[in-house]
Amino acid sequence: MKALIQRVTYARVTVDKETISEINSGLLLLLGVEKTDGPATAAKLCRKVINYRVFPDDQGRMNRSLVDTGYSLLVVPQFTLAADTRSGTRPGFSVAAPQDHAEKLFHEFLLASEQALGRGCVGRGQFGADMKVALENDGPVTFLLEVEGAAAQA
């Protein structure tokens, strides 16, 4: 499972010209799900994201997390993050999770995030929709976080 996180001053998701979710300060997270990912993978990645220290402390060092700051999280499903780009000039999607599996884990990730941060602190994109994502990257600060699924760890 992959999460591309960006520290933002605001972010919003629009579907059919209607804003469906938006946050102020926090993290925009693009979530990619692979075939080998399961509920434990989603839970582990969630813990990592909400505790990842990317916000400045009083000395300006990245030493504070979403949990520490009370900032928001906007989670957007991103099928293309699961692409294999190691060779050639066209992405391959053989490692990407099938739609029903990916959607289930997207919702499990959201539930774990809401339980940890509070429902009012977590926004969401719409699975399977053609979304427009607008943001103001703060820093810019961007990280790719990865957690291997159970089958990959065996």
Q: Quick one: what percent of the chain has pLDDT higher than 70?
A: 97
Instruction: Report pLDDT digits (tens) over 12-53.
Output: 999 999 999 999 999 999 999 999 999 999 999 999 999 999
Q: Domain range for residue 99? A: 2-153
Whether residue 59 lies in the annotated active site: no
Active-site entry in 69, 79, 126, 127: 79
Q: Which residue has the higher pLDDT, 119 or 59?
A: 59
- Predicted local distance difference test score (pLDDT) of residue 149: 82
Q: Which residue has the higher pLDDT, 15 or 151?
A: 15
- Reported pTM: 0.94
What type of residue is 51? N
Tell me which H or E stretch contains 47. helix 39-51
Active-site entry in 80, 99, 115, 153: 80
Q: What are the DSSP calls for 60-127, one per residue?
A: S-EEE-HHHH--EEEEEE-GGGG-B-SSSSS-B-TTBPPHHHHHHHHHHHHHHHHHHH-GGGEEE--T
Whether residue 115 lies in the annotated active site: no
For the chain, the domain total comes to 1
CATH number at residue 43: 3.50.80.10
Residue 150 tokens read as 């159970």
CB 150 within 8 A of CB 36: yes
